[in-house]
Amino acid sequence: MVNFTPLFRPETVAVIGVSTRSDLHPANVIYNKLHLRYPLRVFAVNPKGGRLRNETVYRRLSEIPEPVDLAVIAARADHVPGILEACIRNRVGGATVISGGFAEIGRTDLQERITEMAREAHLPFVGPNCLGIYVPGKLDTFFLPGERLVRPEAGNVALVSQSGGVLVDQMVKFAGQGVGLSLGVSIGNKAMVRELDLLEYLAADESTDVIAFYVEGFGPGEGRRFAQQASRCSKPVVVLKAGKTSEGSRAVSSHTASLAGDHRVFSAVMAQHGIAEANNEYELVSFCEALSCYPRTIEGKVAVVSVSGGHGVLASDACAAHGLRVPELGRDVQEDIQKDLSDSVKGIASLKNPVDLTGSALDDDFAAAVAALSRSEDIDCIILLLLPYSPGITSDLGARLSHIYLQTGKPLVAYVPHVEKFRMLIEGFELNRVPVSSSIEGAVLMVEAMKRCRPC
C-alpha cells in the first residue's frame, strides 16, 4: 500500500512554481498561507531563485536543507514531468499537482507520462487539475486566499471530491452546520490517487469516522470494487453522485438495459452495499453530521417529541416520506413518560407518538420523555423539535438532554431554529455529539442517514 502520511500529514512542504513578481500566482497564495498560518516548514522553489517574504527561493529541490514530505506543484503543465522527476530523485514523500492542462484539455499523453513515473517510484500524487488538500489547522494547499475561504473546524468527517469547486462550497455548508473535517481533498483528474485509494487510507485513518465522496463517475469496473470495499469498511460511507440525468438518450434494445439506467444502477448498488447516497448537497451535510455522531445503523423506528402538535405532524409526514416509521407507543412506554411529567403537563400532553408535551412543557418534561423513550426497545431514534419560544424551555436543555443520550446511547437528533439567541441551546447539543438541524426536514434526513447505512 502507498504511504499517504507525507501527503496528508507533512512536516515539510516545498511549493514549486512560486513567482517572485506576482503575489497573485497560485503558488504564492499557497506559500503565503502555509508560511504564515500553518505549523510546518515550507520552502519556496523557482529555478530563477531570489527572495520571497524575505526567505530564500530555492532554485531546485536538492538545495532545500531538509527532506521534503510534500511537494505542491503549481507550475505550467509542460514543466510538471521534469519537476516530478526531481521529486522522485530527491525522495519527496508525496505531491499534489495543482496545475491544469492535462487530460481535461485532451493532453492524456502528458497525464499518462506523469502517472507512470509516479507509479514506478511509488510517489503518491493528488491531481492534476485540482485544489489539493485541506486539513484543518495542519495543511491547506488551496490556491484560494485564506480570507476568502470558509474553513470548517477540525472534526471526524473526511470529504473526497472530484471537483475542487464543490469541495470548497461544501466546506461552507459544513462550517455552517458545525460539522468538522478530518480531511478535505480535491482529486481533480485523479490520475493516480483515486477514490478507492482514499477509501482504503481513510478506513484506517484514526482521525476519520465518516468518509464522504463527491463522485462524477468511476472508471470501468472501479465502481464494483468501490462498493465491495465500502461494504467491508467499518465506517459509514456517504456518496453524492453528479450526473444523474445523463442516461436515457441512448437507444436501448433490451428491457433490462432501458430499465437499468446508469443512475438507477448506481443507486441500487450503493443501497445494496450500505453506502448512504445523498441526493443533493444538503443531504450530504445532514448525512455527514448525523453519521459523525452516530456511526451505527438503525432500523428507523422514530419517536418525535415536540411542544407543538403541528410540528409533530410535519415531522411524522417527513419521516413517512423518507421511509421511516413513527410507531404508536405502547401503554407501558406512555406510562413510563407520564409518571415523571410535571403536574401542569400531565393532563394535557399527548403521548402516542408524536409526543406533544404542549407549550406548558418544562425542561423536566423533556427529560422525562427522552429518558423513557431511551429505555424503550420499540424506538431506535428520537427526533426533538425544540421551539425555544416556549417559555418553559431554558438554554440548558440541550446539554441536559445530550447527557441522557451519553448515558443511554439512544440516538437523538434535534431541530432548533438556527437563530443566534438560541446558540447556547444548540451548542449544548452539538458539543455533546447530538446533531442539530435548522429544519424539520434536515432532522429527518439525519435519521434517514443512519438507516441508509444498512445494507439492503
Partner 1 sequence: MLKEAMKQLWETYREAGWIPEPEAKAFFRSGGLAVPRFQTASDREGALAAGEAIGYPVAAKVVSLDVVHKTEAGGVKVGIADATELAETYDRFALLPGFREVLVEEMLSGTEVIIGAKVDVQFGCVVLVGIGGTGVEVYEDTTIRMAPLEAEEAGAMLDRLRGNRLLRGFRGAPPVDREALQHTLATFSRMALEVEGYIESIDLNPVMCTPDGCTIADARIMLSKRGEGRR
Query: In the complex, which residues of this chain contact partner 1 (CB under 8 A)?
Result: 217-224, 227, 252-260, 262, 264-266, 268-269, 272-273, 456
Q: CA torsion, points 177, 182, 184, 185, in degrees to nearest 10?
A: -160
Which grid coordinates are listed for 321?
416520506
Q: Give φ, ψ of 384 to 5 degrees.
A: -105, 125
Cell of 282: 444538503
Q: Which residues pair with 212 in a beta bridge?
A: 159, 238
Minimum Å gap between C-beta 164 and partner 1 is 22
Looking at the Cβ atoms of 4 and 214, the one nearer to partner 1 is: 214
What would you report as the CA-atom Rg of the chain, rounded to the nearest whole angstrom? 25
Beta bridge partners of 262: none
DSSP structural state of residue 348: T
Segment (H or E) for 382? strand 381-385
SS3 breakdown of the chain: % helix, strand, coil, rounded to 5? 40, 20, 40
Sign of the four-CA dihedral 174, 416, 328, 368: positive
Determine the 3-state secondary structure of 349 from DSSP. coil
Q: Quick one: 272 or 407, whose CB is closer to partner 1? A: 272
Question: What is the torsional sign of CA 409, 160, 4, 180?
Answer: negative
Cα–Cα distance for residue pair 69/72, rounded to 1 Å: 10
Nearest to 62 by CA among 81, 38, 45, 80: 45
229, three cell numbers: 470495499
- The least CB distance from residue 456 to partner 1, in Å, is 7
> Which residue type sits at 47?
P
Query: Least distance in Å: CB of 365 to partner 1?
Result: 40
Beta-carbon count within 10 A of 84 CB: 24
Nearer to partner 1, 260 or 313 (CB): 260
Q: Which is nearer to partner 1, 221 or 347 (CB)?
A: 221
Nearer to partner 1, 258 or 280 (CB): 258
Q: Considering beta carbons, is residue 60 or 263 the nearer one to partner 1?
A: 263
Closer Cβ to partner 1, 145 or 219, answer by number: 219
Q: CB 148 → partner 1: shortest distance, Å?
A: 35
Side-chain-side CA neighbours of 154 within 13 Å: the count stands at: 7
Quote the CA–CA distance of 108 and 113 in Å, as a whole number: 8
Question: Please, what is the minimum distance in Å from the beta carbon of residue 163 to partner 1?
Answer: 18
Q: Which is closer to partner 1, CB of 58 or CB of 214?
A: 214
C-alpha cell at 165: 469547486
Q: Are strands 132-135 and 181-186 parallel, antiparallel or unpaired?
A: antiparallel
Measured from the CB of residue 222, what is the shortest distance to partner 1 in angstroms?
6
Q: What's the rounded Cα separation, in Å, for the pair 180 and 419?
A: 20
Q: How many other β-carbons are positioned within 10 Å of the β-carbon of residue 188?
A: 26
- Residues 102, 98: Cα–Cα separation, whole Å: 11
Which CB, 222 or 335, lies closer to partner 1? 222
The minimum distance between CB 399 and partner 1, in angstroms, equals 41
Helix (H) or strand (E) run with residue 163 in it: none
Cβ at position 218, least distance to partner 1 in Å: 4
Task: Write out the three cell numbers for 201.
Answer: 487510507
Residue closer to partner 1 (CB basis): 39 or 221: 221
Judged by beta carbon, residue 117 or residue 453, the one nearer partner 1 is: 453
Least distance from partner 1 to the Cβ atom of residue 75, Å? 33
Could you tell me the smallest distance in angstroms from the CB atom of residue 302 to partner 1? 21
Our CB check for partner 1 shows the closer of 1 and 456 to be 456
Give min distance, CB of 298 to partner 1, in A.
Answer: 18
> Which residue do the cell numbers 450526473 mark?
243
**Least Å from the CB of residue 217 to partner 1:** 7
